[in-house]
Structure 1
């Protein structure tokens, strides 16, 4: 009986010591500070929680490439992007929505017909490919630092080959920023753990460079 009591007492002492040791365990620190940390929501989360960006996010979720990029963790992968996100109002203002497929254009890139595509399998694929490319046109493959001076006049690559964007100052006092081409005003800026979200009052066009 005495041996059993000593055994139980030893077990209790061990558990108490283990609990105390666990409480004193320091948290692991990350290697160096970063402006894009896991404490911030990722780009997908930012787009989800804003009612002003729901249409673009619905389009983006149809793109496997872009949807993975929006939710990609920055730590470990180094994936960072800038999303040029049109407001819902900007998409609604389009005479032809991106999901309706490409319009008919002349040699100068001017839209001459907004006729809808039919419902054949081939036309469905054409619509999907056009929407994918339209979404990718609004993704810059780096984080744009609009607070510095090096961004002005610089061109930034989008996910669409040979299509780049640049940024310029706007407003009477030069405090605003706009996206070129199109003179699209930037009306909001939010940092994410894996990049930057720029809300724009307009859309980029695949037909007009």
Structure 2
């Protein structure tokens, strides 16, 4: 599997994007327009385009969404690749977990779950409001001093990078714990 996907984990340079929502009001850019141009999160942005239903959701101006995009450095610092699941290794072994078509399918499902764990089908998303990610996990955010933290996990929000007509892009300093282990 490493021979197939490693390039998605390599950072690519992107230009910073200004917040365009004030220029266009409700009819301006949407998440799919700004996500790939937002500096520091291009690994995650590229992963969203690997799955047609996710890409379509981010391109749908009628459906608001909050994207909780981990920084490139957070994804690169993971103890395992986003498509790896320790349960797959236990069940199929280190060598066979991601070999062949079945292994490729497992890896793709795991990667999709990773991406969906970072997408909240709500925007605006109010403090303390518990919402469900597209992966089915419940999250809320709290504010402690100047910090915004996603719960569970105390995941720090670095910034709200973009506010556009169908949602917001929040940059995280870590990843959502999409698989407890």
Q: Same fold (TM over 0.5)?
A: yes
Please, which of 31, 40, 49 is the counterpart of residue 37 of structure 2? 49
Q: Secondary structure at the match of 1:83?
A: strand
Q: 1:141: which partner in 2?
A: 121
Residues 31-46 of structure 1 correspond to what in structure 2 (within 5 A)?
Answer: 37-39=26-28, 41-46=29-34
Q: 2:102: which partner in 1?
A: 122
Instruction: Give the TM-score, by structure 1 length.
Output: 0.67
Residues 36 and 194, structure 1, Cα contact 8 Å, conserved in 2: no
Gaps in structure 1 of 5+ consecutive residues: 1-34, 106-110, 146-150
User: Residue 191 and residue 123 in structure 1: after superposition, are their counterparts in 2 closer, same or farther (change >3 A)?
Assistant: same
TM-superposed CA distance for 1:194, in Å, is: 1.1
Distance in structure 2 (CA, Å) of the matches to 1:53 and 1:43: 13
Q: 2:170: which partner in 1?
A: 198
TM-superposed CA distance for 1:207, in Å, is: 1.9
Please, which of 133, 139, 147 is the counterpart of residue 158 of structure 1? 133
Distance in structure 2 (CA, Å) of the matches to 1:137 and 1:60: 11
Residues 103 and 115, structure 1, Cα contact 8 Å, conserved in 2: no
Are 2:148 and 1:177 aligned?
yes
Q: 1:61: which partner in 2?
A: 49
Q: Secondary structure at the match of 1:51?
A: coil
Q: 1:84: which partner in 2?
A: 68
TM-superposed CA distance for 1:36, in Å, is: 5.8
TM-superposed CA distance for 1:46, in Å, is: 1.5
Please, which of 83, 86, 89 is the counterpart of residue 103 of structure 1? 86
Q: Secondary structure at the match of 1:182?
A: coil
Instruction: Give the TM-score, by structure 2 length.
Output: 0.76
Distance in structure 1 (CA, Å) of the matches to 2:76 and 2:177: 14
Distance in structure 1 (CA, Å) of the matches to 2:100 and 2:25: 44
TM-superposed CA distance for 1:115, in Å, is: 4.2
Distance in structure 2 (CA, Å) of the matches to 1:136 and 1:186: 17
